[in-house]
């Protein structure tokens, strides 16, 4: 039995030694130092790669698709002591190559294998520049024109602020081997260029954030997210979305206001007023459909627009209840007398619109808060 256990243990050890899942750091240690494409270990591990992102141009931002297109500069910098050289070899302070020359040089050295995780398709245009400083600092800048996916949160629409994210991550090197980070110099580099404009949005600052992404068996991978903050121009949304939403609220109010009491009885037939409510229901359904087809993201989740649509449906329901229970069946009159019914009617003519409008205003005020 013990011999069997020893055999099993030996088999497991051999399997672990030949496993492709051993940490990259072990694999890297096995590489000869003369191989410049191997991970630089001169300063120990992890190799810290600093990230900066500059937004040169933002072509479009469509919140409904959670997508934007931009021309960006991605700057990566790290230290590779093997690439140090005498300062006199570089009168400008660094050796530089651009375009295909840079690609040739980059192929000869180690570079971090970063990927842009929220870029669904390859960039339509890229060009890279390589700089190597005498002290072994290496810097690459990649200019790319590409589309990116970014999360959109419309809970505070139309007073929302969105982040145009570019997520730079390592997928092959664990954080113990290669780390992504940024310095104040990278923060200063990371900004929107002068003149960047997006219609209907105000451009803000770029912020960098470092996270760790969990992998298998406790592995963690570094990720740096560069976020360009953009704030919506609320005035534009008010005309196109909020005026129809508040206008449709008038329909149930009209159904309430159009009736009157003559000699203790309602003058307008409940059937006619119910028709107004049903017409209003179709109008709100049509408005809801229009919004969901024009602004699909707005039609989902909890935001000002869905709250106001909900308010419209509730107002229609209240209008229908008033029509049925008050105008058609005169329930207050049956239960409490004609005077109570008249007072209920008079109260509803002002309280129902007032409360509905207050709730609508509160929805907008809460989003602005």
Partner 1 sequence: MKFSRSAPAVLIGAVAVVIAAVTFVSNEISHRMAASFEAENFALMGKIAHSKLSGAETKALSAAEQLAASGAVRDAFAARDKDGLYAVVKDAFAVQREKYGMSQAQFHLAPAMSFLRVHNPKRPAEDLSHYRQIVLEVNHAKAARKGIEITTSGLSVFGVLPMLNVDGEHIGSFEMGLELGPLLDELKKTYSFETALFIDEKMLRETATSLSADILNEQNRFGKFIKFYSTHGELLRQLADGDDLNVVEESHYLRDAAGTPYGVLLQPVYNYAKKQIGVLLVAQDFSATRSADGQAAVWQLLLGVVSVVVLIGVILIVVRGVLLRPLREVVDPVAALADGRDVDAVEVAGCDEVRDLAENVEKLRARLTAAAKIEGGAP
Question: Is residue 207 within the footprint of partner 1 (CB under 8 A)?
Answer: yes
The string of DSSP codes covering 307-328 is HHHHHHHHHHHHHHHIIIIIII
Beta bridge partners of 128: 142
Kindly indicate which of the ranges 17-25, 187-195, 245-253, 270-278 contains the residues binding partner 1, using the contact rule CB under 8 A: 187-195
Binder of partner 1 out of 143, 204, 233, 325 (CB under 8 A): 204
Question: Is residue 344 within the footprint of partner 1 (CB under 8 A)?
Answer: yes
CA-to-CA distance for 343 and 338, rounded, in angstroms?
9
Q: Which is nearer to partner 1, 85 or 271 (CB)?
A: 85
Show contacts with partner 1 in window 103-162 (CB under 8 A).
Answer: 156, 161
Kindly indicate which of the ranges 92-100, 254-262, 271-279, 352-360 contains the residues binding partner 1, using the contact rule CB under 8 A: 352-360
Distance of closest approach, residue 101 Cβ to partner 1, in angstroms: 30
Question: Is residue 321 within the footprint of partner 1 (CB under 8 A)?
Answer: no
Q: Judging by beta carbons within 10 Å of its beta carbon (0-12, 13-18, 19+), is residue 252 exposed, middle or buried?
A: buried
Q: Which is nearer to partner 1, 145 or 207 (CB)?
A: 207
Kindly indicate which of the ranges 28-36, 82-90, 273-281, 348-356 contains the residues binding partner 1, using the contact rule CB under 8 A: 348-356
Residues touching partner 1: how many (CB under 8 A)? 39
CA-to-CA distance for 162 and 63, rounded, in angstroms?
9
Instruction: Print burial letters for 112-130: b (CB count within 10 Å at least 16), e (below 16).
Output: bebebbbbeeebeeeebbb
Question: Is residue 341 within the footprint of partner 1 (CB under 8 A)?
Answer: yes
Binder of partner 1 out of 6, 108, 231, 260 (CB under 8 A): 231
Q: Which is nearer to partner 1, 306 or 341 (CB)?
A: 341
Distance of closest approach, residue 210 Cβ to partner 1, in angstroms: 5
Q: Residue 352: which H helix or E strand, with range?
A: helix 338-368
Backbone phi, psi, residue 51, to 5°: -120, 135
Q: How many CA atoms lie within 13 A of 329 on its CB side?
A: 8
Kindly indicate which of the ranges 9-17, 86-94, 205-213, 243-251 contains the residues binding partner 1, using the contact rule CB under 8 A: 205-213
Q: Would you state the structure tokens that stand for residue 83, as one six-digit string? A: 């690439």
Kindly indicate which of the ranges 92-100, 116-124, 243-251, 340-348 contains the residues binding partner 1, using the contact rule CB under 8 A: 340-348
Distance of closest approach, residue 347 Cβ to partner 1, in angstroms: 4
Distance of closest approach, residue 187 Cβ to partner 1, in angstroms: 5
| Angle formed at CA 26 by CA 20 and CA 27, multiple of 5 degrees | 55
Binder of partner 1 out of 2, 3, 44, 235 (CB under 8 A): 44
User: What is the DSSP pairing of strand 137-149 with strand 125-132?
Assistant: antiparallel
CA-to-CA distance for 298 and 287, rounded, in angstroms?
13
Binder of partner 1 out of 187, 196, 213, 254 (CB under 8 A): 187
Distance of closest approach, residue 354 Cβ to partner 1, in angstroms: 6
Phi-psi region of 336 (alpha: psi -120 to 50; beta: other; left: phi over 0): alpha
Question: Is residue 340 within the footprint of partner 1 (CB under 8 A)?
Answer: yes
CA nearest to 148, candidates 212, 225, 210:
225
Binding mask 261-300 for partner 1 (x = CB under 8 A): ----------------------------------------
How many helices (H) and strands (E) the chain has is answered by 11, 12
User: What is the DSSP pairing of strand 161-170 with strand 261-262?
Assistant: unpaired
Q: Which is nearer to partner 1, 103 or 233 (CB)?
A: 233
Q: Would you state the structure tokens that stand for residue 316, as one six-digit string? A: 């229609």
User: What is the DSSP pairing of strand 261-262 with strand 265-266?
Assistant: antiparallel
Distance of closest approach, residue 341 Cβ to partner 1, in angstroms: 8
CA-to-CA distance for 64 and 164, rounded, in angstroms?
13
Q: Which residues bind partner 1 (CB under 8 A)?
A: 43-44, 156, 161, 181, 183-184, 187-188, 191, 202, 204-205, 207, 209-210, 229, 231, 336-344, 346-347, 351, 354-355, 358-359, 362, 365-366, 368-369
């Amino acid at each position: 039995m013990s011999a069997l256990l020893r055999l099993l243990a030996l088999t497991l050890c051999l399997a672990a030694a030949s496993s492709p899942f051993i940490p990259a750091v072990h694999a890297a240690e096995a590489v000869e130092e003369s191989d410049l494409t191997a991970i630089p270990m001169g300063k120990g591990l992890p190799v810290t790669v600093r990230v900066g992102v500059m937004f040169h141009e933002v072509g479009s931002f469509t919140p409904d698709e959670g997508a934007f297109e931009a021309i960006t500069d991605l700057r990566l910098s790290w230290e590779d002591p093997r690439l140090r050289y005498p300062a006199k070899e570089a009168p400008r302070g660094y050796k530089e190559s651009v375009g295909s020359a840079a690609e040739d040089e980059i192929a000869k050295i180690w570079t971090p294998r970063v990927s842009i995780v929220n870029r669904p398709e390859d960039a339509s245009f890229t060009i890279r520049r390589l700089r190597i400083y005498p002290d072994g600092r290496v810097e690459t800048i990649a200019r790319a024109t590409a589309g990116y996916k970014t999360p959109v949160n419309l809970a505070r629409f139309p007073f929302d602020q969105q982040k145009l994210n570019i997520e730079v991550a390592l997928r092959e090197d664990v954080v113990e081997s290669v780390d992504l980070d940024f310095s104040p110099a990278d923060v200063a580099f990371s900004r929107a260029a002068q003149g960047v404009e997006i219609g209907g949005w105000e451009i803000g600052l770029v912020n960098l954030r470092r996270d760790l992404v969990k992998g298998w068996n406790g592995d963690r991978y570094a990720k740096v997210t560069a976020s360009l903050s953009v704030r919506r121009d609320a005035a534009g949304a008010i005309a196109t979305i909020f005026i129809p939403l508040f206008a449709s609220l008038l329909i149930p109010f009209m159904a309430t206001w159009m009736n009157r009491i003559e000699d203790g009885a309602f003058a307008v037939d409940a059937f006619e007023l119910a028709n107004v409510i049903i017409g209003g229901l179709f109008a709100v359904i049509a408005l809801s459909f229009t919004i969901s087809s024009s602004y699909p993201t707005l039609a989902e989740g909890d935001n000002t627009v869905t709250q106001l649509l909900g308010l419209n449906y509730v107002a229609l329901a209240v209008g229908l209840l008033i029509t049925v229970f008050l105008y058609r069946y005169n329930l207050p009159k049956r239960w409490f007398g004609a005077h109570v019914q008249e007072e209920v009617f008079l109260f509803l003519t002002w309280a129902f619109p007032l409360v509905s409008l207050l709730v609508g205003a509160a929805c907008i005020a809460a989003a602005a808060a």
